[in-house]
């Protein structure tokens, strides 16, 4: 018979990281065991692309296009907003939640699941 050690529900997992990781956008991965909580840095070189000859026909890394689920102007957290005063030129992929800069097409974050 397999014995399971008692679980200390008040224990908090130790998160090990270095200062360079904390400066980059993060994705939090939660598993079924709290002790396995890990922070994973997002790749810093993610770029979406566009169709040849049409720099406004974006193609996200997930395969989304304007003719599919589309892209919407957003704030830094990926919340849809009107591109008005204060808007920083960010768009969110409506399929996967990647947030990218309109001018450079560089992915700068990912909208968290609501």
SS3 108: strand
Split at pLDDT 50, 70, 90, the class of 44 is: low
Write the pLDDT tens digit of every residue in 81-107: 999 988 999 999 999 999 999 999 999
Query: 57 with 90: CB under 8 angstroms?
Result: no
CA distances (Å), 66 to each of 62, 71, 87, 105, in order? Answer: 12, 6, 20, 14
User: What percentage of the chain has pLDDT greater than the value 90?
Assistant: 53
* Reported pTM: 0.61
Q: 38 vs 49, which has greater pLDDT?
A: 49
Say yes or no to pLDDT of 59 above 80: yes
Query: 60 with 72: CB under 8 angstroms?
Result: no
């Amino acid at each position: 018979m397999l014995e399971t050690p008692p679980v200390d529900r008040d224990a908090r997992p130790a998160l090990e990281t270095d200062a360079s990781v904390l400066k980059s956008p993060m994705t939090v991965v939660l598993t079924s065991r709290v002790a396995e909580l890990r922070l994973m840095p997002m790749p810093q070189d993610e770029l979406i692309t566009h169709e040849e000859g049409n720099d406004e026909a974006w193609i996200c890394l997930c395969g989304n296009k304007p003719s599919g689920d589309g892209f919407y102007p957003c704030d830094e957290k990926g919340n849809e907003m009107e591109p008005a005063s204060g808007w920083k030129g960010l768009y969110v992929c409506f399929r996967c939640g990647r947030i990218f800069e309109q001018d450079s097409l560089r992915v700068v974050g990912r909208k968290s699941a609501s």
